[in-house]
Structure formats: C-alpha cells, structure tokens
C-alpha cells in the first residue's frame, strides 16, 4: 500500500493539475472569471446617456429625471487599453462618471445627451466608474 506521505503528494499534485487545467484554461476574460483589475487606463467609445431615462425607457423604471436631474453615464460600445488591446468584456456596460471637472461637459452640456463620444481615462471595473481625463466629441 502507499504511505500517507505519498498519498498526500498525489492529492496535492491532483489539486494543482485541476487548478491549472480547469481553473484558468477556459477562462480568459474578466467577465468569465469575475476577476477584474482594480483600475484600467482606457480609450472607450460609447453613448452619453442619462441612466435614469435609459432604465425608464428600457425597463419601465420610475425615474423622475425632469424633477431630480439627469444622471449621466456612458453606454459602452467599445473599449481598448492604452496598448490598443480590445477590452471586449466592457461591451454593453454602463459606466458612471466619477465626479470631477473633466466630466462636467458630459453631464451638463445638453448637446452631448445621447451623443457618441470617445473618452480617455481610467475605469474602476468593480464600481463601474469612469474617471474622465479627456473627451472627444467626434
């Protein structure tokens, strides 16, 4: 029969093989693993939307933006990191703007409501927040 020490080594080896083969091989994106980076510098393209109005039109939410003000965010169409690598796992996300002076025009300029914009900044995936560094209106 095998010794307890040998059985322990076999068990550890099986565990490690399982982790290596099944824990990561088929899960290559953060949306599949649920593990997002703390922050990622991005160029993100999307539609500047009022999140309340969007939820009201798509899901019947009882948003009252005309009374309590619009809460803008970015409905992501595409995103890439600063090396140009696609961040497909962000497609379809709604990112909320981190309040700062650089997002002021996105929030307060009515001409940008519902418009497609390109934003450079930092995304905090766990919070679905976008820290705006610059905005391209094209």
Q: Domain coordinates of the chain in residue numbers?
A: 1-30, 36-136
- Rounded to two decimals, the pTM is 0.73
pLDDT digits (tens, 9 = 90+) for 44-79: 999 999 999 999 999 999 999 989 988 999 999 999
pLDDT value of position 27: 43
Helix/strand/coil (H/E/C) assignment for every residue in the chain: CCCHHHHHHHHHHHHHHHHHHHHCCCCCCHHHHCCCCCCEEEEEEEEEEEHHHHHHHHHCCCCCHHHHCCCEEEEEEEEEECCCCECHHHCCCEEEECCCHHHHHHHHCHHHCCCEEEEEEEEEHHHCEEEEEEEECC
């Amino acid at each position: 029969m095998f010794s307890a020490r040998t059985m322990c080594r076999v068990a550890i080896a099986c565990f490690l093989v399982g982790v290596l083969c099944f824990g990561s091989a088929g899960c290559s994106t953060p949306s599949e693993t649920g593990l997002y980076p703390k922050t990622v510098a991005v160029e993100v393209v999307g539609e500047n939307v009022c999140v309340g109005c969007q939820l009201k039109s798509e899901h019947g939410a009882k948003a009252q933006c005309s009374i309590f003000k619009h809460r803008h965010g970015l409905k992501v169409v595409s995103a890439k990191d600063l090396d140009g690598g696609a961040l497909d796992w962000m497609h379809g996300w709604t990112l909320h703007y981190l309040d700062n002076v650089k997002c002021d025009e996105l929030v307060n300029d009515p001409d940008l409501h519902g418009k497609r914009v390109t934003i450079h900044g930092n995304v905090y995936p766990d919070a679905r927040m976008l820290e705006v560094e610059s905005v391209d209106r094209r």
